[in-house]
Chain A
Amino acid sequence: DTAVSQTPKYLVTQMGNDKSIKCEQNLGHDTMYWYKQDSKKFLKIMFSYNNKELIINETVPNRFSPKSPDKAHLNLHINSLELGDSAVYFCASSPDLGTEQYFGPGTRLTVT
């Protein structure tokens, strides 16, 4: 069984479009995260949810909006996609804030 899953694995779209990435964890964790990884492998935390409440909202454009329908799911919606949004997006979960995180396989977003 996959612990943290993301869909889709690859996403190619044009500038200006709106897209969503879905994440699900079956580990029973209370906390979920979204990260952006650039081409140099640098990881930037975007959002953190603890028990469905937003805990961290780092300085990301408001075109990005996370939504957590329940503790097991954290989706990422992106409006008006830009070239600079091209990256790999990782979902992760942890038992609680600050504990070890478990990562999904990533979604490679390419904006053309």
Chain B
Amino acid sequence: GDSVTQMEGPVTLSEEAFLTINCTYTATGYPSLFWYVQYPGEGLQLLLKATKADDKGSNKGFEATYRKETTSFHLEKGSVQVSDSAVYFCALSWAGKFYFGSGTKLNVKP
């Protein structure tokens, strides 16, 4: 069945470090892909999305490229800040259903 797998956390980085959070998916068709962010004590917020292969989603310095050949949608940021500390969820939608990954906690230290 359709699913999303993302790297386990927590990921701990120093401020200004490069971030990669891996996400791979399994889908029977051509899904749309999403990254959501959850700051402490808050609900999930849509961070970025991509609807077809080779699309790049970007927002707030974060980027992810829809790679059909590797079934991946890795989240990257060139220079993280303490304020980026949160839980990040990869997700896909296909055929009217939505699937979330298990979440990856990011801790950024000053």
Question: A interface vs B, CB < 8 Å?
Answer: 4, 40-43, 45, 55-56, 90, 92, 94, 97-106
Contacts and interface: CB of A to CB of B under 8 A. Distances in A.
B96 A41 contact: no
| Chain B interface residue bracket vs A | 20 to 34
Contacts of A103: 36, 43-45
A90 B44 contact: yes
A42 B97 contact: no
Interface of B: 32, 34, 36, 38, 42-46, 49, 87, 89, 93-98, 100, 102-103, 105
Contacts of A4: 43
A42 B103 contact: yes
A90 B77 CA distance: 27
A17 to B, nearest CB: 25
Contact of A102 (B46, B87, B97): B46
A104 B97 CA distance: 19
Contacts of B46: 100-102
B71 to A, nearest CB: 18
